[in-house]
A and B are shown apart, each in its own frame.
Chain A
Amino acid sequence: MLQFICFGSNHIKQNVFFRMQDLQDLDNETCWLVKELKSYIAQEADFLPRETGLNIMESAAEVGIAIPVTQFYILYLPFSSVLMCYFDVLLWCLTFIFQNHNGVSAKCRNAKVEDLWSLASFFGFSTQTFVLAVNLLDRFLAIMKVQPKHVPCIGVSCLHIAAKMVEDECNISPTHELIRISQSKFTVSDLSRMEKIISEKLNLELKAITALTFLHLYHAVIVSLTSERGEIPSIERLEAQLKACLCQLIFSKAKPSVLALSVITQEFDALQSLAMLEIVQELQRHLKIIDSELLYWRGLVAKCMTEYSSSECNKPDNKKLVWIVSRRTAQNLHANHFSVPELPTIPEGSWDESESEDSCEDMSCEEDSLCGSPGSDAEGAFFPSEFCNQGRK
């Protein structure tokens, strides 16, 4: 029979003696779950992005030629125009070469995945849509040599394909809306053409088995095996962590089953939930996941999680986003600036000006000659000294 596992500091920790070989003793649901897991593991290799392609992306250098160009111009302005033409042509050639022959870098891919995360979140797409989109993106980029300038279109296409497969029809925004919000420069027809290309290249194997599939299954198994539901991290929390991992290209190299298990293990590790870890270990043994592999990915996941939950904020790169405002607001923004006023500043005196005029009269001569000309445009001494004595009584 099911053995109840107690954990937590309030309960006496029992030695878990739980062997999954006692499968026939488990209830039907758990049984079925484990069977699913096994069959998915058998198929998951079909949906892995090609490793060689991923390696190429990792090693591709990010080319930043744009900035030096302007610097060049500033530096060489005094030189003759012929020289400038030379540089012009040279730089253009270099840019052309680098752009077309370098392919997509890991940095480029990661930035795009973050964009997809924003878009998926904004449009209310499920995590499944996002994870599937990333899977399609990676598989496509791993087998096709594409120019970096096409990556935005590819990204949005993958997201759209994934949304169509996962979401209810009513939840999917029209394509022009997707394009408008993502501030993309391509058209609706570009998008549908790209979607066709992607589908073809991936041999129409679009419904992939992803790390999320495994995550849900693992979570379900654990839930069915434990009574203390409160101690189990929510599936939403785990999903968020998985999403954070997927933003880094390196995790696309992992087998989905291993990656999902690493995320869960890492979470239990952080929660110091020993009993849970034992369940996970049993699961791992039963599914024949290699120890060293799991350990390796757990390490990377741990590192990723520290970055994700650190209080350090990544500085938002607002420059990439376009802020379009209406004409009236734009006018307002310019008009409202009350620039330097025409009236010169009148410095306040150090004496108490709230005294009555009479007492001021007695003091005024000395004060005046001391402080000079308060705000007057006239030149010279504010109060010529020969008149100083005349005012006094």
Chain B
Amino acid sequence: GAIRAMSSAATTPPSVDKVDGFSRKSVRKAKQKRSQSSSQFRSQGKPIELTPLPLLKDVPAPEQPELFLKKLQQCCTVFDFMDTLSDLKMKEYKRSTLNELVDYVTVSRGYLTEQAYPEVVKMVSYNIFRTLPPTDSNEFDPEEDEPTLEASWPHLQLVYEFFIRFLESQEFQPSIAKKYIDQKFVLQLLELFDSEDPRERDYLKTVLHRIYGKFLGLRAFIRKQINNIFLRFVYETEHFNGVAELLEILGSIINGFALPLKAEHKQFLVKVLIPLHTVRSLSLFHAQLAYCIVQFLEKDPALTEPVIRGLLKFWPKTCSQKEVMYLGELEEILDVIEPTQFVKIQEPLFKQISRCVSSPHFQVAERALYYWNNEYIMSLIEENSSVILPIMFASLYRISKEHWNPAIVALVYNVLKAFMEMNSTLFDELTATYKSDRQREKKKEKEREELWKKLEDLELKRSLRRDGMIPT
């Protein structure tokens, strides 16, 4: 792995180590681990006292709903986990209460009265909704640095767990719940996706997924807000930690789209998902993004052309790591492409692949050449070899002679051999043309050199004549 050099000097500029051709920022200031503090406002010094309540299982059934409500209210009390020594007994009490509530919601029946709904939502809101602390946004590299974890996770996790089971409960009725789980709630929930703690984001993902599933009236709103988050992310901040999770949810939504696709969804694909590829931190969510794209294309193959043209438009020009990702995604798209769609985009597509194959970055070249190991892609190329072969030929032939990496040269042989077997006549024609072109070029070069030489001689003669060396 990469070695981190810790420098004590505060003003050391970050140097860039190269591992496998990809740069890594591996010099950082010695980082003081700042635990995440929530901005909950709490009174200093006063210890929190909660009267211990009996266990739910120890109480007869008719009294349980009321006890349930009381426990919920108690759990609205939020503790300060920054101070690891304060209120230890009460923290433990809340934790065990939350645990109890989780079990209760999972197994019980008939406990969910109408009064419970607002109390549940209130308790959850009190616990989870908070302003997230600012990150070291300039220096935090999501790929390399450890994320700052949420300090109050022991309670927070149980609150999320509880909420999910509540939503999934048999007795849960969206028509009642929708008075309390409304747009404002959803908005605050979405903001939490920016949390640095991946465990929290994972729970939020499940929560939002369930809410989207059950609250039909909120679906359009949720989609719109996710749109806004992504657009802000792409065009304004390039900072948001929850893109992967949101994309996962979107994947399950896209999967369920009804046909024919609504215009709104197609717009989303072209205006939001494709531009999402341009972000620098693509590697953090690329797998989920590619999945969404492929799902869209499986729903409506006619979208293939705009998607591929979009990718080609945004093709990375300076980031090779991204190029490799794009090539991976493109292969996944080609795996499901319909032959009629393929024919529409084959020319610009293979022009780009031809450039990738000639890339001096060997991983880009390798990944592009590996397309020829894909049986389905090969069958498509075969059917259209008369168009594709001329596009690929020049770069393949050139790099077979010029590329520095021997492994690439060996792969090029495989590809050329495949082409040769596919369409011998065309291949021979192209070889002949290429050779004659090269000879013509060489001839021109030689002529140019001779011309320069003549001019030099002429200049020399003239200067000698001037100096009286050669009689005029």
Check if B366 sits within 8 Å of A325, measured CB to CB.
yes
Question: How far apart sit A121 and B424, CA to CA, in the bound complex (Å)?
Answer: 12
Check if A323 sits within 8 Å of B209, measured CB to CB.
no
B401: chain A residues at CB < 8 Å are: 124
Check if A345 sits within 8 Å of B255, measured CB to CB.
yes
B418: chain A residues at CB < 8 Å are: 316, 318, 321
Is the CB of A80 closer than 8 A to any CB of chain B?
no
A344: chain B residues at CB < 8 Å are: 252
How far apart are B171's CB and chain A's nearest CB, in angstroms? 9
Chain B residues 214-259 with CB under 8 Å of chain A are 214, 216-221, 248-249, 251-253, 255-258
With contacts A236-B432, A323-B414, A329-B367 known, is A353 near B220, CB below 8 A? Answer: yes
Check if B252 sits within 8 Å of A343, measured CB to CB.
yes
How far apart are B208's CB and chain A's nearest CB, in angstroms? 10
Check if A338 sits within 8 Å of B252, measured CB to CB.
no
Is the CB of A117 closer than 8 A to any CB of chain B?
yes
Question: How far apart sit A344 and B44, CA to CA, in the bound complex (Å)?
Answer: 45
Check if B416 sits within 8 Å of A121, measured CB to CB.
yes
With contacts A332-B324, A338-B287 known, is A181 near B258, CB below 8 A? Answer: no
A379: chain B residues at CB < 8 Å are: 170
Chain B residues 156-174 with CB under 8 Å of chain A are 168-170, 172-174
B414: chain A residues at CB < 8 Å are: 318, 321, 323
B378: chain A residues at CB < 8 Å are: 316, 318
Partner of A343, one of B220, B249, B324, B363: B249
Is the CB of B346 closer than 8 A to any CB of chain A?
no
How far apart are B395's CB and chain A's nearest CB, in angstroms? 15
B382: chain A residues at CB < 8 Å are: 313, 315-316
A361: chain B residues at CB < 8 Å are: 178, 217
Check if A343 sits within 8 Å of B216, measured CB to CB.
no
Is the CB of B49 closer than 8 A to any CB of chain A?
no
A348: chain B residues at CB < 8 Å are: 253, 256-258
How far apart are B273's CB and chain A's nearest CB, in angstroms? 15
Nearest B residue to A310 via CB reads B425
Check if B170 sits within 8 Å of A375, measured CB to CB.
no
Is the CB of A271 closer than 8 A to any CB of chain B?
no
B411: chain A residues at CB < 8 Å are: 323-325
Majority secondary structure of chain A interface residues (helix, strand, loop or mixed): loop
1/0 per residue, CB under 8 A from A, across B337-364: the answer is 0000000000000000000000000110
Question: How far apart sit A347 and B219, CA to CA, in the bound complex (Å)?
Answer: 12
Question: How far apart sit A37 and B326, CA to CA, in the bound complex (Å)?
Answer: 59
How far apart are B438's CB and chain A's nearest CB, in angstroms? 10
Is the CB of A230 closer than 8 A to any CB of chain B?
no
Is the CB of B421 closer than 8 A to any CB of chain A?
yes
Q: How large is the interface on B (under 10, 10 to 19, 20 to 34, 35 or more residues)?
A: 35 or more
B425: chain A residues at CB < 8 Å are: 240, 308-309
Partner of B417, one of A309, A321, A383: A321
Partner of B363, one of A181, A326, A337, A384: A326
Question: How far apart sit A350 and B372, CA to CA, in the bound complex (Å)?
Answer: 42
Is the CB of B146 closer than 8 A to any CB of chain A?
no
Check if B175 sits within 8 Å of A383, measured CB to CB.
yes
Instruction: Mark the stretch among B64-72, B402-410, B446-454, B458-466 that contacts chain A.
Output: B402-410
A321: chain B residues at CB < 8 Å are: 414, 417-418
Is the CB of B264 closer than 8 A to any CB of chain A?
yes
Question: How far apart sit A384 and B183, CA to CA, in the bound complex (Å)?
Answer: 25
Is the CB of A391 closer than 8 A to any CB of chain B?
yes
B373: chain A residues at CB < 8 Å are: 318, 323
Is the CB of A299 closer than 8 A to any CB of chain B?
no
Question: How far apart sit A349 and B376, CA to CA, in the bound complex (Å)?
Answer: 35
Is the CB of B205 closer than 8 A to any CB of chain A?
yes
B249: chain A residues at CB < 8 Å are: 343
B363: chain A residues at CB < 8 Å are: 326, 328-329
How far apart are A136's CB and chain B's nearest CB, in angstroms? 22
Partner of B420, one of A118, A318, A343, A367: A118
With contacts A122-B416, A354-B220 known, is A323 near B370, CB below 8 A? Answer: yes
Is the CB of B79 closer than 8 A to any CB of chain A?
no
Chain B residues 180-224 with CB under 8 Å of chain A are 183, 205-206, 209-210, 212-214, 216-221
Question: How far apart sit A316 and B420, CA to CA, in the bound complex (Å)?
Answer: 9
Question: How far apart sit A365 and B425, CA to CA, in the bound complex (Å)?
Answer: 68
1/0 per residue, CB under 8 A from B, across A311-346: the answer is 001111110010111101100110011100111111
Partner of A378, one of B170, B324, B417: B170
Chain A residues 343-375 with CB under 8 Å of chain B are 343-351, 353-355, 357, 360-361, 364-365, 367-368, 374-375
Is the CB of A244 closer than 8 A to any CB of chain B?
yes
Nearest B residue to A340 via CB reads B291
Nearest B residue to A338 via CB reads B287
Check if A376 sits within 8 Å of B210, measured CB to CB.
yes
A308: chain B residues at CB < 8 Å are: 424-425
Is the CB of B400 closer than 8 A to any CB of chain A?
yes
Check if A346 sits within 8 Å of B424, measured CB to CB.
no
How far apart are A350's CB and chain B's nearest CB, in angstroms? 6
A236: chain B residues at CB < 8 Å are: 432
Check if A326 sits within 8 Å of B366, measured CB to CB.
yes
Question: How far apart sit A387 and B178, CA to CA, in the bound complex (Å)?
Answer: 14
Question: How far apart sit A236 and B435, CA to CA, in the bound complex (Å)?
Answer: 11
How far apart are A97's CB and chain B's nearest CB, in angstroms? 32
Check if B217 sits within 8 Å of A360, measured CB to CB.
yes
1/0 per residue, CB under 8 A from A, across B269-286: the answer is 000000000000000001
Chain A residues 249-302 with CB under 8 Å of chain B are none
A234: chain B residues at CB < 8 Å are: 432
Check if A118 sits within 8 Å of B417, measured CB to CB.
yes
Is the CB of B431 closer than 8 A to any CB of chain A?
yes
Chain B CB within 10 Å — which of A117, A181, A309, A365 has the most?
A: A181
Nearest A residue to B287 via CB reads A338
Is the CB of B428 closer than 8 A to any CB of chain A?
yes
Partner of A314, one of B172, B214, B257, B421: B421
Check if B216 sits within 8 Å of A353, measured CB to CB.
yes
Check if B410 sits within 8 Å of A338, measured CB to CB.
no
Is the CB of B288 closer than 8 A to any CB of chain A?
yes
How far apart are B463's CB and chain A's nearest CB, in angstroms? 38
Partner of B287, one of A325, A336, A368: A336
Check if A343 sits within 8 Å of B248, measured CB to CB.
yes
A375: chain B residues at CB < 8 Å are: 209-210, 212-214, 252, 256
Is the CB of A64 closer than 8 A to any CB of chain B?
no
Check if A346 sits within 8 Å of B173, measured CB to CB.
no
Question: How far apart sit A308 and B213, CA to CA, in the bound complex (Å)?
Answer: 60
Question: How far apart sit A384 and B417, CA to CA, in the bound complex (Å)?
Answer: 66
Check if B417 sits within 8 Å of A326, measured CB to CB.
no
Question: How far apart sit A236 and B409, CA to CA, in the bound complex (Å)?
Answer: 26
Is the CB of A164 closer than 8 A to any CB of chain B?
no
Is the CB of B423 closer than 8 A to any CB of chain A?
yes
Question: How far apart sit A93 and B12, CA to CA, in the bound complex (Å)?
Answer: 72
Question: How far apart sit A234 and B435, CA to CA, in the bound complex (Å)?
Answer: 14
A384: chain B residues at CB < 8 Å are: 173
Is the CB of B385 closer than 8 A to any CB of chain A?
yes
How far apart are B458's CB and chain A's nearest CB, in angstroms? 33
- 28 CB-based A-B contacts, threshold 8 Å: A118-B417, A118-B420, A121-B431, A240-B428, A244-B424, A309-B425, A313-B382, A313-B422, A313-B423, A316-B422, A321-B418, A323-B373, A324-B407, A326-B366, A329-B367, A329-B370, A336-B286, A336-B287, A341-B248, A341-B291, A347-B258, A348-B253, A348-B258, A364-B217, A375-B209, A375-B214, A378-B169, A384-B173
With contacts A346-B213, A391-B175 known, what are 20 further pairs, Cβ within 8 A? A118-B420, A122-B400, A181-B410, A240-B428, A243-B428, A313-B385, A321-B417, A323-B373, A326-B407, A333-B370, A338-B288, A343-B249, A344-B252, A348-B256, A349-B216, A350-B258, A364-B174, A364-B216, A378-B172, A383-B174
Q: Which 3 A-B pairs have the closest CB atoms?
A: A375-B213, A338-B287, A347-B256
